[in-house]
Structure 1
Amino acid sequence: MRLTCPLCGSRDRREFYYYGADTYLNRPAPDAPMAAWDDYLHLRDNPAGVTRDLWYHEQGCAQWLKVTRNTVTHEISAVELVAGPAAGGKGASE
């Protein structure tokens, strides 16, 4: 599988670290019940079809990416930065 990093271009998926569903960005409030924190930390869906995942470009620009992909067909329909480029990260020209 290949991912197209917005900063580095098309790369093999082995350059990236898969983190999980992008819902991981929606963490409970600090004072949320323990059950909410337990769900957040331990329960994961395993859907067949379109998902939005977090990937870290570990061997590239060191950016977090939000990848929209289909787990059945392996089609990648979108790759976007979670935030702007981090200071000190490698750019597309390196």
Structure 2
Amino acid sequence: MQIPCPYCGPRDIREFTCKGAAVTLDRPAADALPTVWHDYLHLRDNPAGPTRELWYHGGGCGAWLVVARNTATHAVQGATLASEARHAG
């Protein structure tokens, strides 16, 4: 599988590290119940299909990317710099 780095072009997946879903999580209050903290820290969606993930290009330029891919087929639809994806929506 290849990821299209905006700086380096198409690169092998072994140059990258996946850091998880590219979503904003609402952090619980410091005094929230332990069950609320458990859910925040450990429970994540695991979709089969289209998703957006945060990837780090550690074996290349060091950029953080938001990669759009299908978790069922592993097809990559594209990648955007994380700083630009944050402002785009």
Query: Under a length normalisation based on structure 2, what TM-score does the superposition of the two structures give?
Result: 0.78
State the match for 1:7 in structure 2. 7
Q: Which runs of 5+ in 2 are unaligned?
A: 85-89
Asked if structure 2 preserves the Cα contact closer than 8 Å seen for 1:19 and 1:53, the reply is: yes
RMSD in angstroms over aligned alpha carbons? 1.9
Q: Which aligned runs of 4 or more in structure 1 are off by greater than 2 angstroms?
A: 29-40
Name whichever structure is richer in helix by fraction. 2
Give 1:73 shift: 1.8
59-68 or 30-39, which deviates more: 30-39
- CA distance in structure 1 between the aligned counterparts of 2:74 and 2:7, rounded to whole angstroms: 22
Query: Under a length normalisation based on structure 1, what TM-score does the superposition of the two structures give?
Result: 0.75
Give 1:11 shift: 0.4
SS where residue 62 of structure 1 aligns? Answer: coil
Aligned residues: 83
Give 1:19 shift: 0.6
Question: Superposed, which structure 2 residues align to 1:42-57 within 5 Å?
Answer: 42-57=42-57
Q: Which runs of 5+ in 1 are unaligned?
A: 85-94
Asked if structure 1 preserves the Cα contact closer than 8 Å seen for 2:67 and 2:79, the reply is: yes
Asked if structure 2 preserves the Cα contact closer than 8 Å seen for 1:17 and 1:56, the reply is: yes
